[in-house]
Structure 1
Amino acid sequence: MRFIPRFTFLCLFALATVFTSGCGYIRYLIPLNPTAKTVTTPPTHAAWDSQLKKYVNNQGLVDYKAWQGDSLALNAYLQDLSAHLPSKSWTSTDELAYWINAYNAFTVQRILRGYPVKSIKDLGGTKIFVDTPWDQHFIKLGGKDYSLNDIEHRIIRKNFKDNRIHVALVCAAMSCPRLRNEAYVGPRLDAQLDEQGRDFVNNPAKNKLTPADKPQLSSIFSFYPKDFTKNGSTSIQDFVNRYATQKIKPDAPLTYLKYDWGLNEQK
């Protein structure tokens, strides 16, 4: 051991720590692609659509108190998703719509199970990749257990190279994108995601685009900087300007707003 340079030793120690205490992190680097064994047709998501229209307002805020009294309808929809995993015969847009709806609906279910709560972060422990709300394996799909992180990082981000997912996935926080009060559906998914992009980027509570040379952006952009160099974008600034009514300078230095983890609840 004494012949190993100190820097190398520290690197090896850090790597060992990851493997021994952070196995969850390694897991999220491995793609998942849950698929039905038999050919199935995509769900209509009509049940989810109906509940969103009933309990989510135009600002994307949720009436969790009322929804908690009607949670059986949400559970029935999620059971239907569990019984109808994507099939290889589905289009990529049908698959992506399925997984976005699944992430958002299971997030709502997790809130309802713990409600009343001030923040989704209050529903988990402190150990990252182990017992945060995003690492809890409470999701049942096709007879197997998954976490929200599994859906976001191992399925959606690994299998769909579309950075617009970050304006569609909603983690029940005020700084998240608006929870759309309609379900995502394959035939309209492209238009729905573009509309979400315009809504999110131009919302002054999420992004402050003036002055153009000193914008303050959502921390979501700092969470996933490499994702915003994909799907036709060359940079975070380029992605923002795809949707911004007030353009920012292409080389503007970026700062990020503090993330508000308060519950996205109707008051």
Structure 2
Amino acid sequence: MFGALFCLATGFSGCGYVRYLIPLNPTAKSTALPLTHAAWDGLLKKYVNDQGLVNYKALQADSLALNAYLQDVSANLPGRSWTQNDRLAYWINAYNAFTVQRIIRSYPVKSIKDLGGDKIFVNTPWDQHFIKLGDTRYSLNDLEQRIIRKNFDDNRIHVALVCAAMSCPRLRNEAFTGPRLNEQLDDQARGFVNNPAKNKLTPADKPQVSSIFNFYPKDFAKNGSTSVQNFINRYATQKIKLDASLSYVPYDWSLNVQR
């Protein structure tokens, strides 16, 4: 019913957004060990700096290495024997690596938003089915909305998934791995919350915070947090008031490229 009403209200052709209400959980029957993500780790260390900015031009010249890693990702879906952390690390790395691949295939480009249409849930860069996993093609929104958010109750994903924009969290210059995932996600959260380019936490009663908190407010009110303010204070060195009135920093969609 909600989907039908939304379709009528928005007029989206085919109501493409409805697919994102349906969870996905692609799983291999194989009992193979989790990917090490060593190839992706090497590329990140080589082409991403400490600020999370990417040398897309150089990486474009090394695209065969990225393509080879993503072929391994495609051929090795998470197995039933994998731990929850191994599975989440796989999906975060897949999202970030396929996003980078989408950029370098069209580079130079000023913004990822230039690579698609403007109809959300229909033809934006996040709705294009360019991601091949096993025998099926997926979109970035499939990975984020239908797989990661539906299957992993962890709001720290929003500081780890990187959409190639300056206002996104920094692209970590190492791969996420199952054994270190909690440590890595906590470090991402601390870095994101305390970055003055993303969040201005003073005055404590009226901070200006990332629009990401406005995109997913309900996500930040679960998984050990009771509100956006509470999530921020879990990681902030400069605490804000729990009843603080939040305003949001306009999102900068320019490419997260090294200059």
Q: Shorter-chain TM-score category?
A: over 0.9
- Cα distance, 1:127 vs structure 2: 1.9
Counterpart of 1:79, as a letter, is: Q
Aligned pairs for 1:135-214 (under 5 A) are 135-214=127-206
In structure 1, C-alpha distance between the alignment counterparts of 2:145 and 2:4, rounded to whole Å? 26
Counterpart of 2:222, as a letter, is: K
Find out whether 1:59 has 2:47 as its counterpart.
Answer: no
**Could you tell me which of 56, 71, 84 is aligned with 1:92?**
84
C-alpha RMSD over aligned residues: 1.4
Q: Which protein has the larger Cα radius of gyration, Structure 1 or Structure 2? A: 1
Paired residues of 2:86 and 2:178 also in contact (CA < 8 A): yes
- Cα distance, 1:90 vs structure 2: 0.4
- Cα distance, 1:204 vs structure 2: 0.1
Paired residues of 2:7 and 2:15 also in contact (CA < 8 A): no
Deviations 1:75-100 (A, max 9, x none): 00000000000011000000000000
Paired residues of 2:17 and 2:122 also in contact (CA < 8 A): no
Counterpart of 2:228, as a letter, is: I
In structure 2, C-alpha distance between the alignment counterparts of 1:133 and 1:149, rounded to whole Å? 9
Query: TM-score, normalized by length of structure 2?
Result: 0.96
The gaps in structure 1 that reach 5 residues or longer are 1-10
* Aligned counterpart, 1:132: 124
Paired residues of 1:215 and 1:248 also in contact (CA < 8 A): yes
Find out whether 1:122 has 2:114 as its counterpart.
Answer: yes
The gaps in structure 2 that reach 5 residues or longer are none
Aligned pairs for 1:74-113 (under 5 A) are 74-113=66-105
Partner secondary structure for residue 25 of structure 1: helix
- Cα distance, 1:16 vs structure 2: 3.7
- Change in Cα spacing, 1:18 to 1:38, as seen in structure 2 (3 Å) is farther
- Cα distance, 1:226 vs structure 2: 0.3
Partner secondary structure for residue 140 of structure 1: strand
Partner secondary structure for residue 256 of structure 1: strand
Paired residues of 1:22 and 1:129 also in contact (CA < 8 A): no
Partner secondary structure for residue 52 of structure 1: helix
Partner secondary structure for residue 127 of structure 1: coil
* Aligned counterpart, 2:255: 263
The runs of 4+ residues in structure 1 deviating greater than 4 Å are: 11-15, 17-20
- Change in Cα spacing, 1:12 to 1:113, as seen in structure 2 (3 Å) is closer
**Could you tell me which of 231, 239, 243 is aligned with 2:223?**
231
Aligned pairs for 1:3-42 (under 5 A) are 15-16=7-8, 21-42=13-34
In structure 1, C-alpha distance between the alignment counterparts of 2:68 and 2:103, rounded to whole Å? 16
Paired residues of 1:184 and 1:192 also in contact (CA < 8 A): yes
Q: Percent identity?
A: 77
In structure 2, C-alpha distance between the alignment counterparts of 1:81 and 1:116, rounded to whole Å? 25
Moved more, 35-44 or 216-225: 35-44
Size of the alignment, in residue pairs?
A: 257
In structure 2, C-alpha distance between the alignment counterparts of 1:39 and 1:174, rounded to whole Å? 39
In structure 2, C-alpha distance between the alignment counterparts of 1:28 and 1:154, rounded to whole Å? 6
Counterpart of 2:51, as a letter, is: Q
- Change in Cα spacing, 1:77 to 1:129, as seen in structure 2 (3 Å) is same
Moved more, 11-20 or 227-236: 11-20
- Cα distance, 1:138 vs structure 2: 0.1
- Change in Cα spacing, 1:15 to 1:87, as seen in structure 2 (3 Å) is same
Paired residues of 2:165 and 2:253 also in contact (CA < 8 A): yes
In structure 1, C-alpha distance between the alignment counterparts of 2:203 and 2:5, rounded to whole Å? 45
Counterpart of 1:54, as a letter, is: K
